[in-house]
Amino acid sequence: MRIPLLLILCTIAFAACSRNDQTPSPRIPEDRFASYYASALVITQEGKLLKYDTLMTRHRIDSLQRTYQFSKEDVEETMKFYHNDLNRWKDLNLKVVKNIEEMQKKNE
């Protein structure tokens, strides 16, 4: 009786270990999204500082999405992906800050 039970437990353990446990990935690759998100933040802040109409800011962000060839759904799903994991969100924001700093250096 012990051998069949042991055999079943070993089979279950082997199946669990051999399962393909891939970590989920965002729809948009992290480096491209960090670059896009940095630009979108700059556009949003420029709109506030220059008192642009919100439609103008939205139009500029839509244009940015077309430039990067991202759909709104891709952007939303990627944002959800990062919002659900604090460590990934932190890593993404570090890349975004680096991208913004590079933009500033180019404009100096």
Q: Which pLDDT score is estimated for 108?
A: 82
Where does residue 66 rank: exposed (0-12), middle (13-18), buried (19+ CB within 10 A)?
Answer: exposed
Identify the residue with better confidence: 12 or 30: 30
* Local confidence band at 24 (pLDDT 50, 70, 90 cut-offs): confident
Q: What is the pTM of this model?
A: 0.75
Rg from Cα positions in the chain? 22
**Cβ atoms of 33 and 39 closer than 8 Å:** no
* Local confidence band at 8 (pLDDT 50, 70, 90 cut-offs): low
Share of the chain above pLDDT 70, in %: 80
Angstrom CA distances, 93 to 37, 76, 103, stand at 9, 16, 15
Residue identified by tokens 């989920």 is: 24
What average pLDDT score do residues 50-65 get? Answer: 94
